Structure 1
Amino acid sequence: MTTPNRWWITGTLTTRANFHIGNGEIVPNDPRVSLDKDENGEEQYADVAAIVTDCNGKPWLPGSSLRGVLRAWFEKHAPNHIVSLFGRGDKNQEEAGKTRVCGGVYRSHAIQPSLTQESYHFDSGRLTLLEAGVAIDRVLGVASDQKLYYQEVVRPACASSRPSKSATSKNPPFKALLAALEAFNDDSLTLGAETHSGKGRMTWKCARVCGLAGEAMKQWARDAFTGKADAPIDRAQVVQIQPSTHSTAAASLDVTLKFEGLFCVNDPGSCRLGQAGEKAPQKTPMKTSMTPSWLNKQPRLDAQGRAYLPANSFRGVFRSQMERIARTLGLPKVCGEGTGITCKPLHHAKDVDNLCPVCQLMGAPGWKSLIEIGDFRQQGEAQVITQEFLAIDRFTGGGADGKKFNARAVVRPTLQGRLSLDETRLASLKDKDAALALFTHTLRDLKEGDLRFGMGTAKGYGACKAEYTVGTASIPRDLKQWAETQHGNAVTWLTKIANQSTCNTRLAWPKAPEMGCQNSSIQSHATAPNLEFHNPSHFIPAKEPNPNDPRWLSAKQRDWQSAPPISHARYTNGSFDTKQFRYSGRIVCRLRTLTPVVIGAQRTAATKSSAAVVTPYSYDENLAPDKKTPILPASSLRGLISSLVEGATNSAFRILADSQLSANDYPNKRKDLGKMHDYFSKTFGQEMLPYSPSRNRLSPADLMFGAVSDTKSIEQIQALAGRIWPGDAIGTPGGFAPEPVLLKILDSPKPPCPTLYFTSTKGFIAKKT
């Protein structure tokens, strides 16, 4: 009888990305994440998906989790050794495995928690962060109700000591086990949840290999616990046994996102809107001299304090665009649009063809995504600025009460990430060409800038274009050659797919309307007459509001779920019967300022010796005024255009404060007219008020620029994303005045006080007499 060899492997796994192995429990009311107060004014806290911990409350790597991923690797790369190393549980053929895997204890890396990590719910005792996520409604284009979640993750650069003991009679299984462990270093082997979104990436470092064989094993058995079993084998022998690093066969594509303006992925738990008498957050990330003491929105940061785009955020936008393309082309059974339109969970891999084309690529319950996506990390340095936002009341023309907030964002960052495609599983699809063509078409849209990431897409945030670099392999095996030889190009192939779908006829796209104007009506500023008159007000002729107009749509949730009239889930092309076409595209405009323009950013309070100073909005916070580039924010353009659209289309007042309304009856006492909303409801009707559960229809301006209800209702749409994505207007560098201009603050005009308008004080702007 041959005495089997005994091996003992000890090594360290170091996390290179966030890592989560859940214990199946949800921690209710975690004090690390405070939410808005409830109706009774009591503080609310988020529920958090917890990780597995040891008896000391530190993260724990279960041996069963590691054994499971090792066995999965052997099933794919070395199936002949599975029974020998891991056993089998077949009925009447049960056999114990010869590999015993022990759990790992986490220990903190040399990197210490920074201010940024502490601000983002870092727990130095548990060595964990809290990560937030939210699902986006495909039809409405906004966050789905009750779909915000938090989960606990182990931050990168934490290490786990992991001993593994295996008993085997020959070297080949042992060599294969070493090869499996080395697969951690090229991402062929990952641990935990959401590995398709970049989590669970680790680095394996073999610390010690011990072994006993032959006479040494017999001697150890006779002497019983002499310690000889811990004697390491010769290093040269380990090198000889250990195979070369395993190389992955997955196709990969390096993606560089170059943002054209501001970018921010908001962390909803780090800060929130303040209430009266409420304390400000104790700490804010990326604190600079220009950072205000109170932030409403701030970007999510990595362990190094840099902004990044989480893989889940990229995946959600990328998948949503893929679904939009598939639905527009008429591909059958694309899930995600409306109630009940979803793929069923998959229990057997052979039933993968029952999934819709998007779920086959991007994953579904029971089917892992074929496309793995990593976090997109910031490359180089990027400036961070604070932008102030203020909604304008449609009646008063001033700032709306409670509608001011600010956001901290990164200026024109460059983020880099990687997409990997599992070619082996792709080949198992029945219609792999259709799936691949859908993937490449989405890549084209990403490259052309049709996808936006992060918060504030309606305010000019998140616009970018992509650049691609082929990684370890082409996608797949030289995509360009595949497209040319098989179907000409991906667009042509998608058209063929659409022709074979359930649509009986294809709609021919009508010619876009001409948007030009006559040259004779355009005059340059230099040739304009000196006596040119500019009307200070522009009046829009309007009829009486008519909510029964067909352009007003139902605000009921069920109407949008059953047959969405204007859905973000697809590109709509209108109807050939009514000759009403809808277009998707870009409008590029050039604005010429005729009078001085000030868009305020930061404000420095006045002192006894100096006036208050409002800094104009610009990306260049640290430059002198005469060197800055003027920026007209997309939010300002959007507010201006949306207010004009409201008037031109007789739409509802999208922003109208419910303040006390009174009429001046000088010299008599002012007449009280009651609350603003009550007065407008009696005068113009309930449908003209800002969007709320009291309204039954959505006006044209709501459909174009979006709507949000302040009150929750299960019957109505809670929010609707706008269909207009403006961008910042970039001016000419050096367009600011080198010195501040002093302005006198004016009070509301009153007949007895003409001096407010006719005071002539040196150094102040005053009306000429």
Structure 2
Amino acid sequence: MNTQTTTDATEEKPRIPWPFHQRWRISGCLIAESPLFIGSGNTSHRDHLKNDDELVEIADCLRGANDWPALPATSLKGVLRAWLGREEEEQIKRLFGEDSKENNSGRGGEVEFLDAHLTLPRNSDTPLPHWDQDKQTWVEIINSIDRERGVAAENHLAHRETVAAGSGFELEITGQFSQPQNDIPLLLAALEGFNDPENPVLLGADTISGKGRMHWELAVVERLDATSVLEWLEDPNRGMAQQAFQPLPTEELATLKESATVYTGMEEKVWNFPLTLHFNGPFLVNNPSTDEEMDVPQDQKPAHARPRTNEMGQVILPAKSLRGVLRSQGEKILRTLLDMEDEQWINSELQQFVERRIACRPEIPTRACNPLKGKEEAGEKLCLACQLFGAPGWRSPMAITDFTLKPGDYERQTQEMLAVDRFTGGGKDKAKYNAQAIIDPVLEGRVKLDKRRAPGWGLGLLALLLRDLKEGELRFGWGAAGKGYGHCTAEIDKWDDHALRQDAQAAWGELIKLIKEHIDTLKENLPHTEDEQATKPEASGHE
């Protein structure tokens, strides 16, 4: 009996075959439709780009093969995961992975992303500022606006190396999927999100200003199944296993694409406002001439100030310019809602309270909101203006595109000017300059507000800003502060939408309630003299 037991124990158990999972590969091309910047953290210089005879520091973009720009796999994975949203869905977590938490060690995702390298360089003749053909980048120059004077702020100039629109990157996604018939359609839908006209997937920095817009072209979906692997193993002249992938049959690919459309009908995540700006008179956002352009005979020199254009040669009102004007006006509205007496504004405690809770001074580091370290702090740590318009560590929920010139025949006018000598009151010697402006242009673009990230009162303040824009209260571009340039009115497609108006009115009521709470807190903490207390009128009960 013992012998029989020993024999049974030593018998080999039947082997369980290791399950074979098909491997998939999705390939295609991402083509930049707007400027793109993904920083590497390094800086460089260009010999011809100086400021007061000193070479300026340029923030470098991330590079790959041939020293050309590249799109990092982590960025691609992150933006697609964010666009899909739906935090609690198990499929999203299985594909993209999830972070470790208190009771969860986290896990990696089934989908694998590779860096996307530049394979379609830009060869257009359209001039770009400080273009480098070898590096396939140009240099974007950025400045801030002084809140009080309405002109460019001093010592706020920045330069960064930017990928031009029209540049193409080869994208490849691979993986072994537990449920390929569900997972491949989801990934195809996410990639098609780059082409979404209302809420596209965006890459890189300044996406809230229309940067990083891409167009996706699917090339092929391939599969490596057991049959393909066996054929590859039996081939005496086999190469790398990557060459054994086989394209899907046309009918099967069509079925997967059809299934992908299910995921494109997601709930609307943004309020979208298409705008048309009608300018009355000259309009100009300056595109300064370079030293090389000015180092030519007098009759060949361009205007000192001329219209800014994008990579396609279209005249634009940059998103940053529009954002700056909207933010400045929004800050004025927020401060005005406090309804304080004139003499109270000189109180230092009041100024500190306003900058801490209502509207800070982002152009002055000591009076700006502190950078955030976590999104959960936004409502507590940021002033109201920064919650809506953005701050270090907090991306604005308001996205704005560049406004481009609507096709048409527009007059261009060059105005000759002479600076005035402040001492003599006459013309300043050697201070003659000129500006080329477009007369009565019409520009089109969009303003969008993310419903998921915007504060509850955000739509209310945005609606008031759009009303000011519609009524011609705002000016844009060069010469807007004192030369009569940049006056416009706006045409807003959704302005009469009843549901939108109700949402905006409710949001405005929420903002008024919040401002009143701040006023009560402020009055409790500000000191008052006995004379002020005696003459202070009782509340009338009217709002």
Match of 1:68 among 60, 75, 78: 78
Query: 1:198, 1:375 within 8 Å by CA — same for their partners in 2?
Result: yes
Provide the residue aligned with 1:445 in structure 2. 468
Residue identity matched to 1:147: H
Provide the residue aligned with 1:44 in structure 2. 54
Distance 1:440 1:228 in 2: 56
Distance 1:374 1:326 in 2: 24
Provide the residue aligned with 1:185 in structure 2. 195
Match of 1:246 among 253, 256, 264: 264
**CA distance change for structure 1 residues 389 and 122 in 2, over 3 Å: closer, same or farther?**
same
Query: 2:329, 2:465 within 8 Å by CA — same for their partners in 1?
Result: yes
Distance 2:64 2:71 in 1: 9
Larger Cα-atom Rg: 1
The CA deviation string for residues 55-79 of structure 1, in whole angstroms up to 9 with x for no partner, is 4222112222212223333454784
Provide the residue aligned with 2:369 in structure 1. 343
Query: 1:5, 1:169 within 8 Å by CA — same for their partners in 2?
Result: no
Residue identity matched to 2:478: M
Query: 2:122, 2:164 within 8 Å by CA — same for their partners in 1?
Result: no
**CA distance change for structure 1 residues 221 and 319 in 2, over 3 Å: closer, same or farther?**
farther
**CA distance change for structure 1 residues 308 and 494 in 2, over 3 Å: closer, same or farther?**
same
Provide the residue aligned with 1:59 in structure 2. 69
Query: 1:85, 1:166 within 8 Å by CA — same for their partners in 2?
Result: no
DSSP-derived class of the 1:454 partner: coil
Residue 495 (structure 1) shift:
5.7
Provide the residue aligned with 1:17 in structure 2. 34
Provide the residue aligned with 1:693 in structure 2. none
Distance 1:376 1:503 in 2: 41
Using the TM superposition, name which of 250-259 and 221-230 deviates more.
Answer: 221-230
DSSP-derived class of the 2:475 partner: coil
Distance 2:320 2:162 in 1: 14
Provide the residue aligned with 2:402 in structure 1. 375
5+ residue gaps in structure 2? 1-17, 339-353, 524-534, 536-543
The CA deviation string for residues 693-731 of structure 1, in whole angstroms up to 9 with x for no partner, is xxxxxxxxxxxxxxxxxxxxxxxxxxxxxxxxxxxxxxx
Query: 2:390, 2:396 within 8 Å by CA — same for their partners in 1?
Result: yes
Residue identity matched to 2:284: C
DSSP-derived class of the 2:294 partner: coil
Distance 2:88 2:194 in 1: 16
Query: 2:277, 2:488 within 8 Å by CA — same for their partners in 1?
Result: yes
Query: 1:307, 1:410 within 8 Å by CA — same for their partners in 2?
Result: no
Greater RCO structure (CA 8 Å; 6+ sep): 2
Distance 1:279 1:375 in 2: 26
Query: 2:279, 2:442 within 8 Å by CA — same for their partners in 1?
Result: yes
The CA deviation string for residues 395-448 of structure 1, in whole angstroms up to 9 with x for no partner, is 76652213321112222211111011111223xx4xx13x32222111111112
Distance 1:194 1:462 in 2: 24
Is residue 481 from structure 1 mapped to residue 525 from structure 2 by the alignment?
no
Distance 1:10 1:445 in 2: 47
- Percent of pairs with identical residues: 35
Query: 2:284, 2:437 within 8 Å by CA — same for their partners in 1?
Result: yes
Provide the residue aligned with 1:595 in structure 2. none
Residue 200 (structure 1) shift:
0.6
The CA deviation string for residues 435-475 of structure 1, in whole angstroms up to 9 with x for no partner, is 3222211111111222111111111111111111139x96x
Distance 2:415 2:121 in 1: 36
**CA distance change for structure 1 residues 505 and 441 in 2, over 3 Å: closer, same or farther?**
same
Match of 1:231 among 233, 246, 253: 246
Residue identity matched to 2:375: A
5+ residue gaps in structure 1? 38-42, 273-277, 285-290, 507-576, 578-769
The alignment's C-alpha RMSD in Å is 3.2
The CA deviation string for residues 201-260 of structure 1, in whole angstroms up to 9 with x for no partner, is 111111011102344445546667577623211122112112127255322001111111
**CA distance change for structure 1 residues 31 and 452 in 2, over 3 Å: closer, same or farther?**
farther
Is residue 210 from structure 1 mapped to residue 222 from structure 2 by the alignment?
yes
**CA distance change for structure 1 residues 422 and 283 in 2, over 3 Å: closer, same or farther?**
farther
Provide the residue aligned with 2:320 in structure 1. 312
TM-score by length of 1: 0.57
Residue 110 (structure 1) shift:
7.2
Residue identity matched to 2:36: F
Distance 2:49 2:120 in 1: 23
Residue identity matched to 2:417: F
Provide the residue aligned with 2:484 in structure 1. 460
**CA distance change for structure 1 residues 143 and 392 in 2, over 3 Å: closer, same or farther?**
closer
Is residue 297 from structure 1 mapped to residue 297 from structure 2 by the alignment?
no
Query: 1:132, 1:267 within 8 Å by CA — same for their partners in 2?
Result: no
The CA deviation string for residues 556-591 of structure 1, in whole angstroms up to 9 with x for no partner, is xxxxxxxxxxxxxxxxxxxxx9xxxxxxxxxxxxxx
Query: 1:271, 1:297 within 8 Å by CA — same for their partners in 2?
Result: no
Residue identity matched to 1:258: H
Matches for 1:137-536 after TM superposition, within 5 Å: 137-170=146-179, 171-186=181-196, 187-217=199-229, 219-220=231-232, 225=240, 229-242=244-257, 243-244=260-261, 246-247=264-265, 249-268=269-288, 270-271=289-290, 280-282=294-296, 293=301, 295-330=303-338, 332-336=357-361, 340-354=366-380, 355-380=382-407, 381-393=409-421, 398-426=426-454, 429=455, 432-433=456-457, 435-457=458-480, 458-470=482-494, 478-483=499-504, 486=506, 490=508, 498-502=515-519
Residue identity matched to 1:280: M
Matches for 1:57-96 after TM superposition, within 5 Å: 57-76=67-86, 79-88=89-98, 90=100, 93=105, 95-96=107-108
The CA deviation string for residues 324-380 of structure 1, in whole angstroms up to 9 with x for no partner, is 111122274321176633222222222221122221111222222111111110112
Residue 505 (structure 1) shift:
11
Query: 1:12, 1:206 within 8 Å by CA — same for their partners in 2?
Result: yes
Q: Of Structure 1 and Structure 2, which has the larger fraction of its residues in helix?
A: 2
Distance 1:482 1:450 in 2: 24
Residue 184 (structure 1) shift:
0.8
Residue identity matched to 1:233: L
Distance 1:156 1:437 in 2: 35
Distance 2:428 2:106 in 1: 73
Residue identity matched to 2:326: F
Residue identity matched to 1:174: I
DSSP-derived class of the 1:93 partner: coil
Distance 2:251 2:154 in 1: 60
Query: 2:405, 2:443 within 8 Å by CA — same for their partners in 1?
Result: yes
Distance 2:372 2:218 in 1: 38
DSSP-derived class of the 1:67 partner: helix
Residue identity matched to 2:118: Y
Provide the residue aligned with 1:33 in structure 2. 49
Query: 1:5, 1:217 within 8 Å by CA — same for their partners in 2?
Result: no
DSSP-derived class of the 1:482 partner: helix
